Structure 1
Amino acid sequence: MDLDPQNAFSAIQTAIRQASALIVTYSFSVLGAILLLLFGFAVAGLVERWVYAGLGQVGGFDLTLRRFFSKIARYVVLGLVVVMVLGQFGIQTASVIAAIGAVGLAIGLALQGTLQNIAAGIMLLALRPLRIGEYVEVGTIAGTVEEIGLFATRLRAADGVYVLAPNSTLWTQPVKNFTRNGVRRNDITILIPNTGNIDEVQKSLLGLAERDGRVKKEPAPAAFVAELGDSTAALTLRYWTSVNDFHSAKTDLNKSVRVTLNVGT
């Protein structure tokens, strides 16, 4: 079949015109998309800084939460920018948003445990049942808090062991915070024969506590009969100290009671 030169030339001209129209059309779309991306990144950075600075004005707002929410604000703005850029090329943004939502739901189901830790981390940072430097006990987990992250909390156990606890574990169980109130109470209980002089022993116990500078004057130390047995009586010395003095005062007073009264504690 012979090719008509005139028809071939017309077809080439038509193709060139269509290609030129497409290039012009998409050139403007690409240029607009680039400008929109640049503008979007600038706005996202500004929003991130505004949110970070604004949350900093809220008294006691945790630094980790400030960073987290400012990053979330940044990514929300960038997500909107991406949807707008896709709209520049004629893509249905409603379909894109629906697809993003479906992907987000799938990721959320797959990372359910991780999201629980993030939610628990936010609650721990917002409500502050534990803070860095405090000694806490949560179930079988105990130690001094060294870092509270969005996923897990790092602690140092009393024997120096490194402990990394998921935030969801810390949030769903009662927290015993030994540091928060600043003071702690201790009881030293001794056994004496029923034939012993209870009044003299009580005076001796109170004297030991009152002479120790680490023992608080308020609440005042007390010595009392805690329990009576067939042949012995249990006497308890109760006193309060600061958190920092608790262990040293406990060991020293245990020793003083043992040496002074020559009894078992």
Structure 2
Amino acid sequence: MEQEIPTLGTPIELLRSHGAGVASALLIGIVGWTAAAWTARSVRSFGKRWTHVDVTLVPVLASVSRLAVLTITVMAVLERFGVDTKSLFAVIGAAGLTIGLALKDTLSDVAAGLVLLVLRPFDVGDAVEVDGTSGVVDAIDVFQTKLTSFDGVPIMLPNSKVRSAKIQNFTRAQRRRMDLTIGVSSGADLARAITSLREVLSSEPRVLTEPAPAVDVIELADAKVHLLVRAWTLPADFFATRLELTRHFKERLDAEGIVVPVPQRELHIPLRERRSAPSL
């Protein structure tokens, strides 16, 4: 006896039998998508108004909230079509384990990003140096930290590298110390040179008086003496003050007639012996 093959019926019959489920699923999808976008915007707006929330956490919280609403929406839509979401969760879990093993480096970046957001070694806008890379923090994403170098070049560092690297936060420093080494000729009047450099320091308003600046001999080199100038400034004044002090030191020493020797190199070229022309 031949088995009777069930027919799907006409489109009109399908619409009558499943139209309500399709319509409700479509409605749930539209409402869920709109709710996800609204939730993300609300989290961003709330984060801007609430000063207790770090600005680096706001984009992450907005993305997580949007993803959570979309996940609930997808599950609700699948249930309208009769899909067993419990079995689906089991399949997704197994697939997630496989994907997690394959993307362990990426997941490491995600975990490191969460740790950075919680520990907050730096904030957006801070001037930092991460493992020898210097710049201003633009954003801390889920996978990477974005910097802009001091010469305007965008830099992207994986969060896992940032988490394990040495981090220097210049913005959070209360003051910064500069060390300048200035060489004078060995025959120069050291007391006069030191006094001149100290007077330049005292005339610079951006140099802090506490801790007090210092100038003294640090090294005796060939044909010159190295003087160490040590001064403290606020972090925002560090680079500009360093540049101007270097120029003012040179101008003051020149005015005092104190020679600042420049490196010299002697080049000896041996004369080649002349060869006599061969006789015919």
What code does the residue aligned with 2:131 have? G
The match for 2:112 is 120
Offset of 1:126 from its aligned partner?
4.5
TM score, norm. by length of structure 2:
0.68
Q: Deviations over 1:158-203 (max 9, x none)?
A: 5554433223222210112334326321122346689976554443
Structure 1 gaps of 5+ residues are: 1-10
Partner SS, residue 61 of structure 1: coil
Shift of 1:209: 0.4
Kept in 1: contact 2:224–2:261 (CA 8 A): no
Q: Displacement, 1:141? A: 2.1
Aligned AA for 1:106?
T
1:262 counterpart (243, 251, 259): 259
Q: 1:183–1:240: 8 Å Cα contact kept in structure 2?
A: yes
- Opposite residue 153 of structure 1, the aligned amino acid is T
Task: Please say if residues 208 and 231 of structure 2, whose CA atoms lie closer than 8 Å, have aligned partners that are also in contact.
Answer: yes
User: How far is the alpha carbon of 1:252 from its aligned partner?
Assistant: 3.2
* CA separation of 1:208 and 1:56: change in aligned 2, threshold 3 A: closer
User: In the superposition, relative to structure 1, how do residues 160 and 220 fare at CA in structure 2: closer, same or farther (>3 Å)?
Assistant: same
Partner of 2:88: 96
| Higher fraction of helix | 1
* SS of alignment partner, residue 245 of structure 1: helix
Q: Distance in 2 between matches of 1:20 and 1:248?
A: 78
Amino acid corresponding to residue 73 of structure 1 in structure 2:
S
Give the drift of 1:128: 3.8
Paired letter, 1:61? V
1:238 to 227, 230, 238: 230
Kindly tell me the number of residue pairs found equivalent between the two proteins. Answer: 252
Shift of 1:94: 0.9
Shifted more, 205-214 versus 254-263: the winner is 254-263
TM-score, L = length of structure 1: 0.71
In 1, Cα distance between the equivalents of 2:33 and 2:222? 82
Match in the other structure for 1:5: none
Q: Aligned partner of 1:103: which letter?
A: A
Q: Is the 8 A contact 1:152 1:165 kept in 2?
A: yes
1:8 is aligned to none
Q: Does 1:130 align with 2:122?
A: yes
2:198 equivalent in structure 1: 206
Does the C-alpha gap of structure 1 residues 43 and 188 become closer, same or farther in structure 2, counting only changes over 3 Å?
A: closer
Amino acid at match of 2:66: R
**Structure 1 CA distance for aligned equivalents of residues 149 and 32 of structure 2:** 47
- 1:35-67 CA distance string (max 9 Å, x none): 433443454445444544444454253445323
> Displacement, 1:22?
8.0
Q: Give the % identical residues.
A: 35
Equivalent residue, structure 2, for 1:173? 165
- Residues 71 and 158 (structure 1), Cα distance of their counterparts in 2 relative to 1, 3 Å cut: closer
Describe the superposition over 1:80-128 as per-residue Cα deviations: whole angstroms up to 9, x where unpaired.
Answer: 2322332333332210111122233333333332233333334444544
RMSD: 4.0
Structure 2 counterparts to residues 54-93 of structure 1, below 5 A: 54-59=46-51, 61-63=53-55, 65-93=57-85
Distance 1:32 1:191, change over 3 A: closer
CA contact (8 A) 1:155 1:164 kept: yes
* 1:189-200 matches, cutoff 5 A: 189-190=181-182, 199-200=191-192
Alignment counterpart, residue 155 of structure 1, candidates 141, 147, 150: 147
Q: Does the 8 Å contact 1:48/1:70 carry over to 2?
A: yes
**Partner SS, residue 172 of structure 2:** coil
State the distance in 1 between where 2:103 and 2:72 align.
Answer: 24
Q: In the alignment, what sits opposite 1:33?
A: 25
Q: Secondary structure at the match of 2:67?
A: helix
